[in-house]
């Protein structure tokens, strides 16, 4: 199901302030202001000659957004090819950066891969504090509000606060939730959740998981066990394994992605807390290194503050 209205992205008429693009732009305010201010400082009123000195300074500013060396080099080199030995102004450079960012973030699809029949099982992974449980609530709300029958599974049984939080989300949304006793086997809760989804004819089962550090071998083994247990009940499940990454974590988010992606077989990324970060550029090296689609971005604290990722809109909101 799409969060984004494709007709709006094609329409050149500005969206209303309540639109998804406006929310995305607001969420990227810290990153955009930091980056634009840094780049603006490179210019004089009469513009700036594009030479080695300018390109070196620009590269350093781009690195500051955590966009990674490869992406910063690509942007720098593109501006060098297009404008070397010419005097440019800020809009010229921002246009080039926006275009390069959009191209490097482009991906085939951000849609959830729904099962052809029976419940679609979505496993959600990520370290503690990444916004994982909140992201589950937001996703569940969207699916429920668009007519899907949703079941939640509180599989983070080692953290009482996570179970309580997810229970509150379920109550607000009006969907079923499966919980276990404190420190119960998370795989058992996952199995019961899938079983419940089959019994009640649910469309989607979203299962939370423990979020301890990605370096812990036991956690990685636990995720593998959960996958195997779910697959015994529904063949080919889980259909999606979404990795929630905290945008405020910057480059550390990449090590998180590496650990969980290897253990859980991740199929997509949810970038959370975008509104609290000046490091929104980290999405570029994440896409580059793991070739995982960024499926959703968290745009605030409200239950509706999540959106399907769109590369062109993200780049535009980041720089314009």
Residues contributing to the annotated binding site for GTP: 126-133, 208-212, 272-275
Strand pairing category for 204-208 and 150-153: parallel
How many CB atoms sit inside 10 A of residue 53's CB? 11
- Is 175:140 a contact under the CB 8 Å cutoff? yes
Kind of pairing, strands 294-298 and 306-308?
antiparallel
Question: Which regions of the chain does DSSP assign to beta strands (E)?
Answer: 48-49, 87-88, 120-125, 150-153, 176-178, 204-208, 240-246, 268-272, 294-298, 306-308
- Tell me the CB-side half-sphere exposure of residue 144, using CA atoms within 13 A: 21
Q: Residue 71 in contact with residue 315, Cβ under 8 Å? A: no
**Residues of each annotated binding site:** 126-133, 208-212, 272-275
């Amino acid at each position: 199901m799409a969060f984004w209205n494709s007709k709006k992205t094609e329409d050149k008429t500005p969206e209303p302030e309540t639109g998804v693009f406006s929310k995305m732009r607001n969420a990227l305010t810290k990153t955009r202001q930091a980056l634009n201010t840094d780049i603006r400082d490179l210019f004089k009123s009469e513009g700036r000659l594009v030479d080695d000195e300018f390109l070196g300074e620009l590269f350093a500013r781009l690195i500051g957004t955590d966009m990674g060396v490869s992406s910063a080099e690509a942007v720098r080199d593109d501006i060098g090819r297009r404008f070397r030995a010419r005097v440019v102004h800020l809009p010229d450079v921002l246009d080039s950066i926006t275009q390069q960012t959009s191209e490097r973030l482009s991906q085939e699809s951000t849609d959830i891969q729904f099962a052809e029949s029976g419940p679609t099982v979505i496993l959600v992974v990520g370290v503690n504090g990444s916004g994982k449980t909140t992201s589950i609530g937001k996703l569940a709300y969207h699916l429920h509000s668009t007519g899907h029958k949703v079941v939640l599974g509180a599989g983070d049984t080692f953290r009482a606060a996570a179970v309580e939080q997810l229970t509150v989300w379920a109550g607000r949304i009006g969907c079923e939730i499966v919980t276990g006793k404190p420190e119960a086997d998370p795989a058992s809760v996952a199995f019961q959740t899938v079983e419940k989804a089959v019994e009640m004819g649910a469309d989607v089962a979203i299962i939370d998981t423990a979020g301890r550090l990605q370096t812990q071998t036991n956690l990685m083994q636990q995720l593998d066990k959960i996958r195997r247990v779910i697959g015994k009940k529904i063949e080919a499940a889980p259909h999606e394994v979404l990795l929630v990454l905290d945008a405020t974590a910057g480059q550390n988010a990449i090590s998180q992605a590496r650990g969980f992606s290897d253990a859980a077989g991740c199929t997509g990324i949810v970038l959370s807390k975008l509104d609290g970060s000046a490091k929104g550029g980290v999405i570029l090296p994440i896409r580059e290194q793991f070739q995982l689609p960024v499926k959703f971005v968290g745009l605030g604290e409200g239950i509706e503050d999540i959106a399907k990722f769109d590369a062109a809109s993200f780049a535009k909101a980041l720089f314009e």
